[in-house]
Amino acid sequence: MEHRVDITFAEPQLPISPGRMGGGGLRIFDAIAREWGLTLREQLAILRVPETTYRRWRQAALAGKDVAVDDATLERLSYILGIYKALNILLPQSHAGWIRRPNSNPLFGGRPALERMMAGQVADLFVVRQHLDAWRGGWA
């Protein structure tokens, strides 16, 4: 008896443009912000966007629409997602508390990681993510 596999080829898909990923990124960020208990001020400081822009983007994203965000915001959203993922692996029960507790690591100068994340530069988010990735890998 001969087995035949029926393969149907879908139309080729164009790569998703980075601008179209904003809606999904903002929906994820909204869920993370709620879980971490971030205030609107903290959210705006992390994303570095004007409040009116953020509210417009968030409303569209939560309605399931594509949102074209700039590259810097997309990069920030990516770092936040990486930070969240690392914390869920390292501290599944207390990751929201970790971002608010003073941290003795020299990268944080005794201040909470959240303060570093809100400092303004994309590099600040990178440093937090890199620290967690190193900790997760055992060399932090």
Q: Residue-wise pLDDT tens for the chain (140 aa)?
A: 444 444 444 554 545 555 566 888 999 999 999 999 999 999 999 999 999 999 999 999 999 888 889 989 999 999 999 999 999 999 988 878 999 999 999 999 999 999 999 998 999 999 999 999 998 886 55
pLDDT at 137: 82
> Encoding tokens for residue 17?
């443009």
Q: End-to-end CA distance of the chain, in Å?
A: 58
pLDDT at 80: 96
Query: Nearest CA to 78 among 70, 36, 136, 61?
Result: 70
> Encoding tokens for residue 71?
């590259």
pLDDT at 6: 46
CB 32 within 8 A of CB 78: no
Residues 78, 62: Cα–Cα separation, whole Å: 18
CB 59 within 8 A of CB 23: no
Backbone angles phi, psi at 59, to 5 degrees: -60, -45
pLDDT at 17: 53
pLDDT at 26: 93
Residues 4, 107: Cα–Cα separation, whole Å: 59
pLDDT at 95: 78
Angle at 83 between CA 63 and CA 99, to 5 degrees: 100
Sign of CA dihedral 106, 124, 43, 50: positive
> Encoding tokens for residue 58?
């968030």
Residues 116, 41: Cα–Cα separation, whole Å: 14
